[in-house]
Amino acid sequence: MNNTLTIAWKELKIYFQTPTAYVVSAMFVVFAGITFILNVIGTNPEATVRSFVVPSSIFYILLAPLLTMRLLAEEQKLGTLELLLTSPVRDWEVVLGKYIASLVILIATLAATLYYVIMIYAFGEPDSGPVMSAYLGMILYGAAALAIGMLASSLTSNQIVSAVLGMGTLLILTFIDTLGSRLGGVTGDIVLEISMRTHFGDFARGIVDTSHIVYYLSIIAIFLFLAVRSVETRRWR
Amino acid sequence: MIELDSITKYYGNYPAVTDISFRVEKGEILGFLGPNGAGKSTTMKIITGFVPPTEGTCSVAGNDILTNSLAARRHIGYLPETVPLYTDMTVSDYLEFMGRIRELKGEHLRKRVDSVVQICRLEEYFDTFISKLSKGFRQRVGIAQSIIHEPDVLILDEPTIGIDPIQVVETRELIKNLGGEHTLIVSTHILPEVSMICERVIIIHEGQIVAVDKPENLATRLRGTERVEIDVAGPTREIVSALEKVPGVESVNRKNSLSDKGYSSFEIEAERGLEIRSELAISIVKNKWDLLRLEAVGMSLEEIFLRLTTTEDATQDGENLGIEEVSNNE
Ligand SMILES: Nc1ncnc2c1ncn2[C@@H]1O[C@H](COP(=O)(O)OP(=O)(O)OP(=O)(O)O)[C@@H](O)[C@H]1O
Ligand SMILES: [Mg+2]
């Protein structure tokens, strides 16, 4: 665990010393702000976070891969992975440490959007339950998106390729629900279940369903596991 | 301390290393010599556990590098030839990080960082981002990183490349001083470096070991011919024919003329084990030529290296190596 935290800390330091995280997070907060304002000045403003949380979750398609693209790809490019993997550090500690660092940045970014929540509380009387469940959902959704980004980053030494891979995968996993509802029947249901968006709706409406939590945790586990395996096979290449 | 047993490594169908076995005892400094693509780096990657061998076993401090990898890795300090560094980090952050993942902490870690910074002369760049360092200083950071945890085993892949001459001397001193308590494997292209710092040399060529010995023994063992250099004043053609008549002499080559007073340098090769110097001197004096210098010369490591790696039968028969002529005769 010590190694994991050491690696997480090192990555956080680099996040704070380089512009990528600032730029990406700022874009996210601004995007959430725009959807927030659109709701406020719209014909039928609601005192809920749903209005900006749902579109923001779509923005994860860009945010997550941009945050994770460097993490493992650059280690391979610089050759530093060779030093990490010849140190007394387990492969999963490397992957998990880096993942935790990206998660911290994501949560910090979400914390910045609380500004809009404060505005809602200042000018309306929202239900606190849905606000909290929405943020729980946002964290889980984001964490799953980052895990997908980690796998993408482990597969290549090129950050751009890693970002594109991550965005492509997220794009499919997000919008596959439209295909699901078209198909109908059992296949359609299965496809719907796979979509990351399907599982987010309830959180935004204030419903915390264990099955949704399990879904996101499974995505995290599967993709991190694959990322660890991918790092392991780096040795054989 | 380090033990390789019939290690073979294939990259796809290409054998980078074939059937390599050797041992390195505690405190020994082993030199790894070979032309580009010989398999030096590959062997080092296998020892450090980065690249698994296709066949064979390797252990470090009694721990198998595959089955007991973590324990083996705890003993190793490693400088890969690419000198991998996080360019987005400062020197101090980087060294601290590398120390931490090698299980140093707290006060001890801080002391070790200060100590390696001092050893590698990096004080001035303590808070500089690595991306702003010159090649030589990056190399020094790489060396600093490899010794921060005082490993039993140090694997340095071409450690003196890109360092300025003064620092090279210091780095070699440093490496030499590390021997004794640490076990070292150093690869290099620079041949004099090997005789300067290593107690034993392994010459590797096309993935196979072609010679293992002490640097000085290597020279004697491979010297198939005795070689003498003389400076003489006199008519070149007569000198050559007179000296060729001396018993045991195999060839006489005029190397160059020393500008003034008509002196020329000759290189004479004779059968192995024969002492021909007095005979040569007598022959010269008899002819009343002026003898300025007469000297037996050994073979430089460069020449040994060339012979070992350019002669056809080098890999088959180490004993006959010296007898194969390369290019000295006309
Ligand atoms: N990852 C790889 N994939 C395929 N072939 C490789 C790989 N790494 C090395 N090789 C091949 O293996 C052989 C040995 O390479 P190695 O790097 O060990 O040589 P070296 O002795 O270190 O050479 P140099 O003096 O140039 O550093 C070379 O022919 C090289 O092309
Ligand atoms: Mg090499």
- pLDDT above 90 as % of chain A: 65
Rounded Cα distance, B161 and B70, in Å:
30
Place of tokens 């001396």: B246
Residues B176, B204 contacting (CB under 8 angstroms): no
Ligand nearest to the CA of B204: 1
Residue B330 has pLDDT above 50, yes or no: no
pLDDT for res A171: 95
Residue A195 has pLDDT above 70, yes or no: yes
pLDDT for res B321: 40
Q: How far does the CA of residue A168 sit from the closest CA of chain B (Å)?
A: 28
Q: Using an 8 Å CB-CB cutoff, list chain B residues near A3.
A: 100-101
Q: Report yes or no on B316 lying in a domain.
A: no
Q: Bin B295: left if φ > 0, else alpha if -120 < ψ < 50, else beta.
A: beta
Interface check A86 vs B, CB under 8 A? yes
| C-alpha closest to that of B299 among B291, B290, B308 | B308
Domain identity same for B275 and B172 = no
Contacts of A69 (CB under 8 A, 6+ apart): A149, A152, A153, A159, A160, A162, A163, A166
Domain identity same for B206 and B247 = no
Domain identity same for B138 and B14 = yes
- pLDDT above 90 as % of chain B: 40
Domain identity same for B197 and B240 = no
Rounded Cα distance, B86 and A36, in Å:
39
pLDDT for res B181: 77
> Do A78 and B78 count as a contact with CB atoms less than 8 A apart?
no
Domain identity same for B169 and B280 = no
ipTM rounded to 2 decimals: 0.87
Contacts of B244 (CB under 8 A, 6+ apart): B251, B252
Mean pLDDT, chain B, whole residue set = 83
Rounded Cα distance, B212 and A226, in Å:
44
Residue B42 has pLDDT above 80, yes or no: yes
Residue nearest to atom 4 of ligand 1 (CA): B11
Rounded Cα distance, B111 and B93, in Å:
14
Residues A122, A165 contacting (CB under 8 angstroms): no
Q: Identify the sign of the CA torsion B299, B300, B303, B307.
A: positive
pLDDT for res B309: 61
Residue B325 has pLDDT above 90, yes or no: no
Domain boundary among B219, B250, B268: B219
Domain identity same for B259 and B284 = yes
Interface check A14 vs B, CB under 8 A? yes
Q: Using an 8 Å CB-CB cutoff, list chain B residues near A10.
A: 86, 89, 93, 97
pLDDT digits 0-9 by tens, B226-265 = 778 888 888 888 888 888 888 888 888 887 776 666 788 8
pLDDT for res B279: 86
> Do A17 and B88 count as a contact with CB atoms less than 8 A apart?
yes
Confidence label for B219 from pLDDT (cuts 50, 70 and 90):
low
Q: Report yes or no on B89 lying in a domain.
A: yes
Q: Which residues have CB less than 5 Å away from ligand 2 (the ion)? A: B 40-41, 81
pLDDT for res B222: 57
B256 CB under 6 A from ligand 1? no
Domain boundary among B219, B239, B254: B219
Residues B1, B61 contacting (CB under 8 angstroms): yes
Q: Report yes or no on B314 lying in a domain.
A: no
Locate B263 and state its tokens.
């002196």
Confidence label for B316 from pLDDT (cuts 50, 70 and 90):
very low
Place of tokens 């010995």: B213
CATH number of the domain that residue B92 is part of: 3.40.50.300
CATH number of the domain that residue B231 is part of: 3.30.70.260
Domain identity same for B134 and B75 = yes
Mean pLDDT, chain A, whole residue set = 91
Structural domain of B245 = 223-296
Domain identity same for B210 and B250 = no
